[in-house]
Structure 1
Amino acid sequence: MTQTLHKTESRAVMHLVKGISRKTSVMGWARTITWQDIKEKDPFTYQTLNVVRAPTTIYNEFFTCQVTPREFKNTLLRIQICDIDEYDGNVVVAEMDYWINTHIISQFTQFELPFPPFTPDLGEIELHTAYLPVSQRLIFHYSTVTNLKLDDKCTEIFVRGVLFVGGRQFERYQSETKIRTENACTDDGMHFTHKIIFDLDRKYVPKAEVLIHVMQKVDDKTLVVGQVTLSMRHSGQCQQMLKSLRTTVSRVHRLTPSAG
């Protein structure tokens, strides 16, 4: 569970793929199934209704699909847990592949499956932070984004910071907006020099979290490219910053998916 700017709804999406090869490599490694492999097999796709996301989220729906005994061994179920953005789009936060013959299913069966977080390569952001105890301010001096995975129609990019204290949203600011350049999708990156400054009382520091969004403008929409969450209590960068007050601490973070 991570902080969001609005009540987050969620849905489960399942893609059933018949007749897909399970052959391993010469080295014996399990085959990686790509989306191109799935699309070539014309998958059946099912999705649940929207539910409010919670620490334990229940999708109480059933779907059926006919699978013959001959197809059983080569049928894959790709399961995705998705947050829903403000435009009703799916933002995949966890994904797994399950071969349906892995467990013997002779009747209605319940079992647990590991569900790793979905970590696509969205790019990185380098953040430079400092805390000033006298003025009680948390400062993001500037930031650099690199290797962003942007929409083809993206025209502008900016960085947004949101301060949460005890789960409540307190302040929200953003950097300057820049016209998209090719540097945003390379190691050279794009630099945002506008400071993002939060008023943060010393007594609230342990309860504070900052949500950083890299945003892109696509037509008339503002979409999240990816996010980073910095907890004053758990983030390594924040712990180092609080040990070295008034000193700027820098660190590169990998962007993760976010619905907003």
Structure 2
Amino acid sequence: MGWHTSAALMQRWFDSPAWAMPEAWKEDKTQPESLSLKPAHCDESIVKMEWAMGFERCREAVEVAESLLTTPNALIRLQELLKSADWDGEGTKALDSYSMSALQMDACSQINFVKFGEVWNSLDDMYGALGKAVLKVGVVGEAFTKLNPATKQLHHLFHVEKVGFYIRDHYDFNGLQYLGTWTEDRVLTKAETAFTLSLHGQLVLRLKEGPFAAVTNGDFRDYRDKTGKGGDFIIYSDVLWKKSGQVIDLGGWV
């Protein structure tokens, strides 16, 4: 079907020792710190932003994320990052480097995010790979101060050299989720799937192209229990960098 990224993610899951992701890892407030993740529980190599930008919903998410650099929460987050980098609000302070990986960026310079992907999206490689995911945005540049000659007040500013975008998602089979009706060669379209279901949700049509199966998360958990293989993991893409030049007013510095 040409779903190369989806296939690579699933193959990684099949090749990994059995491990079920804790539900707490999927919540914003209880997810693990990026730099604490073990390689067995994290993949940084499969999902590429060049691939993701081939889909309109990701391009739209990047546009939205770029517009969120100066929201109140983003400014609070940027101040926190600068303080963690030991800037006391005086002189200048460079924030990180655009050689960072997404894992490093998540810890050191990520300031906002946007969720993208919906259940009604087209059945394509992105739908198979990510479904619903999070696109995060971070900045690299330099913080500095500037005295307003009229008011004699000191302003704290941040010059954004580049903006970085990356995807974070979790690849697991927790909970109840229908993963499509599949033949050996393809997945049924949503229209075909609706046609094959009775009012009670039972499959009532045998396709001319051969056997088919309605697949759910439970099938993958059963496979894991029987084989001892099938390890969940966190997905981090690489980073898409865009030049900026924007100057952000950090507001009051406490």
Answer yes or no: same fold by TM over 0.5.
no
**Higher relative contact order (CA closer than 8 Å, sequence separation 6+):** 2
Higher strand share: 1
Higher helix share: 2
Compute the TM-score of the two structures, normalised by the length of structure 1: 0.27
